[in-house]
Amino acid sequence: MKIVFATNNAHKLSEVSAVLGPDYELVTLREVGITEDIPETGATLDENASLKARYVYERTGLDCFADDTGLEVEALNGAPGVRSARYATEGHDFAANNRKLLAELEGKSNRSARFRTVISLIRGGVEHRVEGIVRGMIATSEAGCGGFGYDPLFIPEGHDCTFAEMSAEAKNAISHRGRAVAELVKVLGR
Ligand code: ITT
């Protein structure tokens, strides 16, 4: 099955294609001629996932899906949340975001957090939404060099290492995105 994945994030593309496997051919934004940044002006992950998927559907008429993900930290009242990409600066500066997160949590004993991914799928013009969540803790310093974004700081529940210290397969098996994609496959298989 051929489907457009509305992302400019190469890490997401490789994670999602690994979970979907060879039955699905993911078409990139560039391949359908969308080179501009899709505005993410929504107030929630759900809104932004929908905005991205609808933008692509309106331009191309093709079946497509988009993922919007946020890290929700309990002691920060759910921040950075929908602003996860632009937490420290307007750019997608992973290192600056991680430094800011550590600074905001300094001295705080509650380090509980969760990653949440919302996927909006538009198939035959009809929208479906699924989500995936993984709970965990924010470490006190970065560890590991795999993954991307906040992975060096996120220790998933039941583990004693960060996502960045795990193999891609191990992260995908339990991650927010892996879980959301598993739900997506259920919808696509209907
Ligand atoms: P697209 O909108 O082009 O898909 P993006 O990087 O802007 O890519 P999001 O808005 O969904 O994607 O993600 C927000 C940020 O959350 C992202 O820039 C990372 O910093 C972080 N993030 C998302 N998924 C993550 C993951 O699996 N592990 C660690 N950090 C992640």
DSSP state of 2: E
Determine the atom of ligand 1 nearest the C-alpha atom of 163.
Answer: 28
Task: Find the 167 Cα to ligand 1 centroid distance in Å.
Answer: 18
DSSP state of 118: E
pLDDT band for 138, please (50, 70, 90 cuts).
very high
CA distances from 165 to 35, 161, 181 (A): 33, 6, 22
The amino acid at 169: E
Residue 68 falls in the annotated catalytic set: yes
- State mean pLDDT over 146-159: 98
Q: Taking each helix axis from N to C terminus, what angle separates 176-188 and 10-20, rounded to the nearest 10 degrees?
A: 50
* Beta carbon of 7 within 6 Å of any ligand 1 atom: yes
Which residue has the CA at smallest separation from atom 15 of ligand 1? 85
For the chain, percent of residues with pLDDT exceeding 70: 100
- State mean pLDDT over 30-44: 95
Q: pLDDT tens for residues 40-70?
A: 999 999 999 999 999 999 999 999 999 999 9
Which pLDDT score is estimated for 156? 98
- State mean pLDDT over 6-22: 93
Determine the atom of ligand 1 nearest the C-alpha atom of 52.
Answer: 2
- pLDDT of 177 strictly over 90: yes
State the DSSP H helix or E strand holding residue 155, giving kind and residue range, or none if neither: strand 154-156
Which residue has the CA at smallest separation from atom 23 of ligand 1? 69
Q: pLDDT tens for residues 106-127?
A: 999 999 999 999 999 999 999 9
Q: Average pLDDT, whole number, for the chain?
A: 96
Out of 63, 67, 68, 151, pick the active-site residue: 68
The amino acid at 102: L
pLDDT band for 190, please (50, 70, 90 cuts).
confident
- Give the domain ranges of the chain: 2-188
Determine the atom of ligand 1 nearest the C-alpha atom of 70.
Answer: 16
Task: Find the 70 Cα to ligand 1 centroid distance in Å.
Answer: 7
Domain 2-188 classification at class level: alpha beta
